[in-house]
Amino acid sequence: MSDEQQKEKRPLSMTRRYRRGLVIVGLLCMMVTLAIATVLFQRSYTVRVDKYLSQICDSVAAGYKAQPTHDAVTLANLLPESDTSLRFSLIDGGGTVLYDSEAAAGVVYDKDGKVYAVDAPDLPSHADRPEFIAAMADGSASATRESQTMQEETHYYARRIVTPEGTQVLRVGEDVANIWGLSADTLPLLCGAVVVILLATAVLAWWLTRRLVQPINHLAESLDTIEADVPYEELIPLARTIQTDRKLREDNETMRREFTANVSHELKTPLTSISGYAELIETGMAKPADVPTFAARIHKEAQRMIALVSDILQLSELDSTQASQSREKPAEMAPVDLAALLKETAQNMTVNARKAYVTLQYSAQPATVQGSKDLLAELATNLCDNAIRYNQPGGHVELRCGTGPDGPWLQVEDNGIGIPQDSQARVFERFYRVDKSRSKATGGTGLGLAIVKHIALLHHARIDLQSQVGSGTTIKVTFPKAYYPAKRLNGLRFYYL
């Protein structure tokens, strides 16, 4: 694999992604906040300008109306000299501009500094201006017009004045920087603020990501107590998964070691016997009369080894099937008639029951499960074989099946030696034997109930064990409820529960 491919597959750094994300979020929030603040400030400022213009216009209009004469000279003498940013205009009822403070020309002052004469400004008619039209109709009006440079806008307020000389309109205007103008004016300040905030955001992101990621890095140092030391609530499922997986791995490793030791022990005993008897025959130390006996013992031990290896292979196959199911690859299942299966099992185990002087019976009600017929036959055979092996001469074993409220069930009951209470939880473990001396005598491998447990797991079945020493054992396997295909009628498939 090349270095470029390794770099492509290398996981991303959570710390870097957090820092980058925080910086980007901080920058976006800052830009949005500045934009919104600029818009709100400009809107608030223009509202205040409009209110100020209306107050000035109404005040000047009231003073102008109270004068004995109503012309441009009278208005010019009433205007405040302190605020030169305001533009005052006097317009007659026809739209002719009588006076404009910005376009005033030929203004003559007397010896007292008052306006004596004003020439009419050379301006076009304002009869089409919105503020003039609205003021003539409603008495007052406001208007705003953008300038051609897109940096300023002019706010107007007009007031209608009724005089003996006729109707006139007094208009006050002021140039105000629009949002683009405000942004241009404050651009250096904004750039400086952006730089400062970015630096502060980077420092804060570095400190915050370090505090966020450091507890996660410390989790690897205490795997034994990872679930108790979870720093964040969102990591609890991950910690539980790690803890469960770690415990499962430890259990599997322990089981593997125990399984290897048990297999070695179980194989060592028959191999030792076979090797010993074969050596006696090979060296001629065995008498001719003893050779058939030694050969029979070799055959018996070899059969025991074959049974053990067969059970081990069976368990290995069940383990692989269960693993495939956990990866969502379920084994092929089909409807299985439990009554027919138990009848066949009883017929196959009759010879073994007679050899052990045990009565074997079966009582079956209609019951069907969705499963593997071969595996379910193995399950029933192992349960029946176990009940016969650990029974007493004159005892009995009964096989039953039926359908209950929890689903189809299969049951094996015997009146044998029973299982002690402290061993009932372990009898389904591999190679576990309650009475090892009896198991050796009966030829058991210690894997029968372990196979039963795995087959039940593959069928999502529940195993219930009830036993009492000296009274017998009952093992019941309950399968989940399911719909099973029945018959086809006129091309339609019907199902029953």
Q: Is the dihedral of CA 272, 276, 281, 283 positive or negative?
A: positive
Q: What is the pLDDT of residue 17?
A: 73
pLDDT of residue 497: 38
> Are 346 and 284 found together in one domain?
no
Q: State the residue for tokens 């069976």.
A: 314
- The answer to whether residue 195 is domain-embedded is no
| 220 within some domain | no
With contact defined as beta carbons under 8 Å apart, do 394 and 431 qualify?
no
Q: Whole-angstrom Cα distance, residue 366 to residue 51?
A: 94
Segments forming the whole domain that contains residue 368: 334-488
The pTM assigned to this predicted structure is 0.46
Q: What is the Cα–Cα distance from 333 to 370, expressed in whole angstroms?
A: 6
3-state secondary structure of 178: coil
Residues 405, 484, single domain; the answer is yes
The three-class DSSP label of residue 308 is helix
Quick one: pLDDT band at residue 477, thresholds 50, 70, 90? very high
Calpha distance 46→385 (Å, rounded) = 98
**C-alpha span between 118 and 120 (Å, rounded):** 6
CA–CA gap between residue 394 and residue 415 (Å, rounded): 10
Report the pLDDT value the prediction gives residue 32, as an integer from 0 to 100.
80
Over residues 296-345, the pLDDT tens digits come to 888 877 877 776 677 677 666 666 665 555 444 445 678 899 999 999 99
Q: Is residue 308 located within the same domain as residue 353?
A: no
**φ/ψ (deg, to 5) at 38:** -65, -45
Q: What is the pLDDT of residue 488?
A: 41
CATH number of the structural domain spanning residue 146? 3.30.450.20
Find the angle CA(72)-CA(78)-CA(84) to the nearest 5 degrees.
95
- Assign residue 71 a region (left: φ > 0; alpha: ψ between -120 and 50; beta: otherwise): beta
Confidence of residue 436 (pLDDT cuts 50, 70, 90): low
Same domain, 51 and 105: yes
Between 495 and 12, name the one with better pLDDT.
12
**Claim to verify: residue 72 and residue 97 sit in the same structural domain:** yes
Instruction: Mark whether 350 and 478 lie in a shared domain.
Output: yes
CATH number for 394: 3.30.565.10
Average pLDDT for residues 144-165, to the nearest whole number?
A: 80
Among the candidates 184, 203, 229, a domain finishes at: 184
d(CA 384, CA 171): 112
- CA–CA distances in Å: residue 333 to residues 378, 473, 481: 15, 30, 14
Mean pLDDT of the chain: 77
| pLDDT, average across residues 122-136 | 87
Q: Which residue has the higher pLDDT, 158 or 261?
A: 158
Give CA–CA dist 145/143, Å, rounded. Answer: 7
Q: Quick one: which of 16, 162, 150, 174 has its CA closest to 83? A: 174
pLDDT at 159 over 80: yes
The residue type found at 226 is: I
Nearest to 495 by CA among 370, 315, 344: 370
| CB proximity list for 122: less than 8 A, separation 6 or greater | 103, 105
Tell me the mean pLDDT in the region 134-154: 80
Average pLDDT over residues 424-440: 68
Q: Are residues 122 and 255 in the same domain?
A: no
User: Does residue 4 sit within a domain?
Assistant: no
267 and 287 co-located in one domain: yes
- Same domain? For 152 and 263 the reply is no
Residue 123 to residue 100: CA distance in whole angstroms: 9
CA–CA distance, 203 with 210 (Å, rounded to integer): 11
CA dist., res. 308 & res. 172, Å (int):
110
Give the mean model confidence (pLDDT) for residues 110-134.
75
Question: Is 169 inside a domain boundary?
Answer: yes
pLDDT, one tens digit per residue, over 171-180 is 998 887 765 5
Minimum mean pLDDT range among 161-175, 318-332, 396-410? 318-332
Query: Higher-confidence residue: 5 or 144?
Result: 144
Alpha carbons 189 and 38: distance in angstroms, whole number: 13
Residue 459: band (very low, low, confident or very high) from pLDDT cuts 50, 70, 90: confident
Say which amino acid occupies 233: E
What length is written for the chain?
497
Which of 275, 307, 326 marks a domain boundary? 326
The enclosing domain of 276 has a CATH number of: 1.10.287.130
Instruction: Name which residue leads in pLDDT, 3 or 372.
Output: 372
- The answer on 142 and 63 residing in a single domain is yes
Total count of domains within the chain: 3
**Helices 291-326/236-283 angle, 10° precision:** 160
